[in-house]
Structure 1
């Protein structure tokens, strides 16, 4: 799971960004180790139907829709002929539909179309990037449906895949995402995606500014993931308890 790819990102995105040089080195590792990146939709379809998967399948995903994905990541992906998925928050992108609130320079719709034309899957990431599990039913439906409608309007094809903003979801959120027409969704979890997780709770590992090549290699090979993200998992459990309490108090957690 990537966010911004930028040599000089905004302070708000710094920790979850990578430099263009780091991204290029990481994709070299993917190529050298014999992994085959594919889209989120392709992975989910294979698991759903029992169809074949390529050798060492891997998802390369980007959340939010930062401009550097087009400027810096796309050339590297094209060099290796790698597939990827970009999950866009439609209200954050530049141009039509913009609502403000973006943390850094975002893609515009012409760039999104260029990414799609290059074979990148464009997925949904809500409209305004809220914490979906804290929304009431009406707002939750709006965030998922409006996102899917806008991507469909702009690209001519509605997105099939979704990623939860901040990685937060609940049964109610997952149900709403499914009802909006998305056929699979990604969380975070900092663990390898497994078929048993189900199509609406597939997990990913986070790539950060601090992720060196050796650590990245261990992560893509599934080694030492639990140790690498031990602190994150403790914090996540604490956040989950607090969020569940807030959601229950508002009457819309389940």
Structure 2
């Protein structure tokens, strides 16, 4: 029997007063707390990315009604606002860090808002959160040449390993985009699984390097969140996001082909 689809929630900033760059993909602390309480009320069990992928790879059992709680980039509000709520409920989660955006020795200055520092990342990890990779400088990976692509993936993995003393097994694509070449590079860099966006539920048949997530944003109300967790029809805004994601990916591939054609004529 095929495994039931699993909701993988994608969060970014959890903040009271986010800046303009992060506002749309931020969630208010009060809303985040209510969403985590709803997960408890509905009887779902959070697992992390590595646990889900390992189960689907080996056929081992997952808890009834699993859900994944994931965070991208590494915003400071994950430590300030989300960590206490996750600890209260005893929830597993995954934080995907862009290592060049984390405050400290490797900071490239690219972070879009106040970012975590490495002491905070370690606290989050010690609280039971899986730490995964999200590249070093958060570029559009499918637009990079092979050498730069490998550097982004390997540098991220090396820094997380150095800072935390454990090798990250999971990866999330910046902007949610990937290609066959990018997925192969992620595999070769040593990551065992990777998450896209897709704005749909995750299914085993998607493969370990293209698992779908759904975006939780500031406009996500309680009704939409409950529908998402219960696996019912994806609300209209998610369907619209999914269509836009696919359309933009096609447009970007066309532009990439045109650029290659122009370079070949020069």
TM-score where L is the length of structure 1: 0.97
Match of 1:145 among 154, 169, 178: 154
Match of 1:82 in 2: 91
Aligned to 1:238: 247
Distance in 1 between residues matched to 2:11 and 2:137, nearest whole Å: 19
In 2, Cα distance between the equivalents of 1:19 and 1:145? 33
Question: Are the structure 2 counterparts of residues 19 and 139 from structure 1 closer, same or farther at C-alpha, using a change threshold of 3 Å?
Answer: same
Quick check: which one's strand share is greater? 2
Report if aligned partners of 1:191, 1:226 keep a CA contact under 8 Å in 2: no
Does the 8 Å CA contact 2:196/2:213 hold for their aligned counterparts?
A: yes
- Which residue does 2:264 correspond to in 1? none
Of residues 114, 126, 143 in structure 2, which corresponds to 1:134? 143
8 Å CA contact 2:224–2:235 kept in 1: the answer is no
Is structure 2 residue 11 aligned with structure 1 residue 2?
yes
**For residues 251 and 226 of structure 1, do their structure 2 counterparts lie closer, same or farther at Cα, with a shift above 3 Å needed?**
farther
What is the TM-score normalised by the length of structure 2?
0.92
Alignment partner, residue 21 of structure 1: 30
Aligned residues: 252
2:21 partner SS: helix
1:45 to 2:38 alignment: no
The answer to whether structure 1 residue 68 and structure 2 residue 68 are counterparts is: no
**Distance in 2 between residues matched to 1:238 and 1:51, nearest whole Å:** 36
Aligned to 1:117: 126
Q: Is the 8 A contact 2:200 2:242 kept in 1?
A: no
Q: Which stretches in structure 1 are left out of the alignment for 5+ residues?
A: none
Q: In the alignment, does 2:19 pair up with 1:32? A: no
How much is the aligned-residue C-alpha RMSD, in angstroms? Answer: 1.2
| 1:147-166 alignment runs, 5 A limit | 147-166=156-175
Deviation at 1:237, TM superposition (A): 2.6
Deviation at 1:251, TM superposition (A): 4.5
Contact 1:133-1:247 at 8 Å conserved across structures = no
Deviating 4+ runs (over 6 angstroms): none
Residues 86, 92 of structure 2: 8 Å contact kept = yes
Tell me what 1:202 maps to: 211
Distance 2:166 2:36 in 1: 28
Q: C-alpha offsets along residues 65-120 of structure 1, whole Å, 9 cap, x if unaligned?
A: 00000000000000000000000000000011101111000010000000111110
8 Å contact kept, 2:55–2:61: yes
Per-residue deviation, 1:158: 1.1
Q: Which residue of 2 aligns with 1:215?
A: 224
